[in-house]
Structure 1
Amino acid sequence: MKKIAFGLSTLAISVAAATAHAGEVEVLHWWTSGGEAASINVLKGLMEEEGHTWKDFAVAGGGGESAMTVLKSRAIAGNPPASAQIKGPTIQEWGDLGFLTNLDAVAKQGDWDVVLPQVVSDVMKYDGHYVAAPVNVHRVNWMWANPEVFKKAGVGIPTTWEQFLEVAPKIKAAGFTPLAHGGQAWQDATLFEAIALAKGPQFYSAAFVGLDEQTLRSADMVDVFSTFKKMRDYVDAGFSGRDWNVATSMVINGDAAMQIMGDWAKGEFTAAGKKAGVDYVCYPAPGTSESFTFNIDSLAMFQVDGADAQKAQQDLARLILEPEFQETFNLNKGSIPARLNMPRDKFDSCAHSSMDAFLASSTTGGLVPSMAHGMAVNSMVQGAIYDVVTNYFNDDAMTAEQAVDKLARAVKASM
């Protein structure tokens, strides 16, 4: 296969500028829930205002596994979309295969190296060149809570996992589900990494970024698995296979007290007309107030033929980083802008808290990539961790010590 044609982009822009024809851009993504759909429609509208045609290719599935399967089949067939929702180390994998196109001309025009934090811009580059555009920064280690449920149960909102295990039985006794959860591998991993993060960002990074075998086999990791298994007592019987946004609706509707989920959950509260600090509250996941697990959504650009299609693709990349889209998308999505120095006045208290935590953790070492959401490790290692974590959660007979051994072995085998 061809490597990235870095001269192609500049040529495409100059040719397209001369012809000024509108093009079509096909976008593969998995933004399909209420808040997410509203967010991506903003970008579609901006592209149509530029005169381009937006071909939506939405593949449902909160973790993106189904979308990635479709993308691989399209790419193998020699017909990838113009743009696809890809993130983290997966961007590097597609770059290695030679599928991605160069966005340096757009990035230079938009001062991306200036307006993006380095932790964000680094992820968007392959071999030192921009190949993807970030739409946002998600904080993954959030806990969403319904204060009315806590009031009815007569307990406070926990700030540590020890407190969680104290209040959860009382919430359950009051007739509510303590923890809204969907039994899907990526959701299990989201909960698991939040519990691991409570051991501190150094432990988390050693385990899920450095893949250090000693850390993976440590007593702390046994404790993480043990706490994780205890969560099974506090989810409802119907959790298996439930989509994340359905679990969020349990908190919105007052059926459940809490959910551990990234800030895309806030988009569901917003879509339901709920107000932060009134109808729901957001706290860092127990024990993680000094840390920030990040998940950056981005659209990577694939090589396409034809000046019109290339112009549409470059315009898409440009629009993603412009303040109008960054603000509107993130207000709908629940995340915070990838672009620095955006006005904050339209964002709610949860977003302000996330923005503050992002900046603070970036200077203290508490800013770490989410393993569960494809930012820390490649897809092979992530899949191996997923398998161990979700199998343990659903196997009453497996001990925490056995899970730790399986984890260390699985990670080593997939490296």
Structure 2
Amino acid sequence: MLRKLLIGTALASSFVFSAHAEDVKEVQMLHWWTSGGEAAALNVLKEDLSKEGFAWKDVPVAGGGGDAAMTALKAMVAAGNYPTASQMLGYTVLDYAAAGVMGDLTETAKKEGWDKSVPAALQKFSVYDGKWVAAPVNVHSVNWLWINKAVMDKIGGTEPKTFDDFVALLDKAKAGGVIPLALGGQNWQEATMFDSVVLSTGGPEFYKKAFNDLDEESLKSDTMKKSFDNLAKLVTYVDPNFSGRDWNLATAMVIKGDALVQVMGDWAKGEFNAAKKTPGTDFLCYRFPGTDGSVIYNSDMFGMFNVPDDRKAAQVALATATLSKSFQSAFNVVKGSVPARTDVPDTDFDACGKKGIADLKAANEGGTLFGSLAQGYGAPPAVANAYKDVVSKFVHGQIKTSDEAVTELVKAIDDAK
């Protein structure tokens, strides 16, 4: 579908910005980093590039899952209106590369040794047909709990190690008069939580078979039905106003103590950072119960487009800055994620960041590092969108039972392949 949309635009695109001399020293970036923590992290990059003499032009599109931004990007590219780069996830990078509209950073990558410092799991999505087409910015993992420590202390809670422990903890919060679970009723948030539920319910091998290999027997299994049952249980602990809520507003509920816990990727920690909160003192970070030892990941990437020659210096400067050790540390400390290269020390990271780095290393070495289906790293976008749609319909009651949910999931994924 993407290829059809872009036919006839690739050649024309080369000329779109060339008439504007000011563009030559300007980085034009499409992204969806609009929350407080995200904007603070992005400022690190803006400042680095400013020192190099490059101006920054934001093309921000709000919406934490990036769906609105990707719709905007598709329209821009179809019109031949290429940004210098766009924030992108996994399979979307490969889609645009297959359409022939991405640039080639291979010379820069070779000079700076990206092939040795960037994990193979990320190179799978940043290299296409032997050419580097994207610069990985970070590694996020989604199977986290973010807990308000004061509320936890008030209800006498302890770290939940199993799903049943988690339910018992949520019951304590409910009895204590606090919203147990902060959730935003948007399909990507609901599916992101379900990623963790499936890993917890079925274990690492099951998650891989179902959500990375798209094995039909796993998708329609009793284990998947149980996963939907567990999701339904969690939804009973959400407040009635959750529908449509942005993810960072759900995080704010935990920060303020209105809710006990949020199940969300570690970009949530960027919001705690922005609010000047400290892990261990103000908030707690635990792996989703039953998922210790595994990491479900995504990675923000800056997909680099095939811009005219006079704009390539700005693009190379952006790519070089993005994968510099200093930026990788400074940015990810603020963002809540961990570096996209393996040789960055954890010195400046807080306790949650150090745990994230150690967990990623162990999962990478142990074969338990899995792409998030909800976040665009488990399967191509059409499959991920079908998955998010089914999960959201289940959460909002349009799909009534786990039996029906499994049937719909298998059909939706099969149709999307």
TM-score w.r.t. the length of structure 2 is 0.93
Q: State the shift of 1:305 in Å.
A: 1.6
CA distance in 2 between counterparts of 1:240 and 1:2 reads 40
The match for 2:230 among 205, 227, 252 is 227
The match for 2:84 among 82, 85, 93 is 82
Any conservation in 1 of the 2:346–2:357 contact (CA below 8 Å)? no
Any conservation in 2 of the 1:124–1:134 contact (CA below 8 Å)? yes
User: 1:11 aligns to what?
Assistant: none
With 239-248 and 340-349 compared, the bigger mean Cα shift is at 340-349
CA distance in 2 between counterparts of 1:384 and 1:63 reads 15
**Is 1:162 paired with 2:186?**
no
CA distance in 2 between counterparts of 1:25 and 1:355 reads 30
The match for 1:103 among 97, 102, 105 is 105
**Is 1:405 paired with 2:400?**
no
User: 1:385 aligns to what?
Assistant: 387
With 260-269 and 144-153 compared, the bigger mean Cα shift is at 144-153
User: 2:58 aligns to what?
Assistant: 56
CA distance in 1 between counterparts of 2:156 and 2:303 reads 48
Q: Secondary structure at the match of 2:400?
A: coil
The CA RMSD over aligned residues, in Å, is: 1.7
User: 1:190 aligns to what?
Assistant: 192
CA distance in 1 between counterparts of 2:170 and 2:334 reads 31
Any conservation in 1 of the 2:10–2:80 contact (CA below 8 Å)? no
Give CA deviations for 1:34-82 in whole Å, capped at 9, x if unaligned: 1110111111111121112211111110000010010001111111211
Q: How many residues align?
A: 400
Q: Secondary structure at the match of 2:96?
A: helix
**Is 1:93 paired with 2:95?**
yes
Any conservation in 2 of the 1:267–1:333 contact (CA below 8 Å)? yes
The match for 2:327 among 325, 332, 346 is 325
Give CA deviations for 1:277-317 in whole Å, capped at 9, x if unaligned: 1110100011101110111111011111242x111111111
Distance 1:2 1:301, change over 3 A: farther
Matched AA of 1:264: W
Matched AA of 1:268: E
**What are the ranges of 5 or more consecutive residues in structure 2 without an aligned counterpart?**
1-6, 15-22
Any conservation in 2 of the 1:35–1:271 contact (CA below 8 Å)? yes
Any conservation in 1 of the 2:295–2:370 contact (CA below 8 Å)? yes
> Kindly, what percent of the aligned residue pairs are identical?
44
User: 2:275 aligns to what?
Assistant: 272
CA distance in 1 between counterparts of 2:371 and 2:107 reads 28
Taking the TM superposition and a 5 Å limit, the aligned residue runs for 1:135-174 are: 135-174=137-176
**Is 1:289 paired with 2:292?**
yes
CA distance in 1 between counterparts of 2:8 and 2:101 reads 8
Q: State the shift of 1:3 in Å.
A: 11
Q: State the shift of 1:334 in Å.
A: 0.4
Q: Secondary structure at the match of 1:99?
A: coil
Q: Secondary structure at the match of 2:318?
A: helix
Matched AA of 2:35: S
CA distance in 2 between counterparts of 1:403 and 1:366 reads 26
Q: State the shift of 1:167 in Å.
A: 2.4
The match for 1:123 among 119, 122, 125 is 125
User: 2:4 aligns to what?
Assistant: none
User: 1:15 aligns to what?
Assistant: none
User: 2:314 aligns to what?
Assistant: 312
With 200-209 and 161-170 compared, the bigger mean Cα shift is at 161-170
CA distance in 1 between counterparts of 2:218 and 2:145 reads 26
User: 2:374 aligns to what?
Assistant: 372
User: 1:32 aligns to what?
Assistant: 34
User: 1:259 aligns to what?
Assistant: 262
Any conservation in 1 of the 2:9–2:79 contact (CA below 8 Å)? no
Q: State the shift of 1:170 in Å.
A: 2.3
Any conservation in 2 of the 1:263–1:334 contact (CA below 8 Å)? yes
**Is 1:211 paired with 2:214?**
yes
Matched AA of 2:388: Y
Give CA deviations for 1:177-224 in whole Å, capped at 9, x if unaligned: 111110000000011111001121110111111111100010100000
Q: State the shift of 1:102 in Å.
A: 0.3
Give CA deviations for 1:156-187 in whole Å, capped at 9, x if unaligned: 23221111122222211211011111000000
User: 2:178 aligns to what?
Assistant: 176
Matched AA of 2:317: D
Distance 1:396 1:104, change over 3 A: closer
CA distance in 1 between counterparts of 2:260 and 2:167 reads 13
- Structure 1 consecutive aligned stretches of length 4 or more whose deviation exceeds 2 Å: 1-5, 154-157
Give CA deviations for 1:122-141 in whole Å, capped at 9, x if unaligned: 22111121000011111111
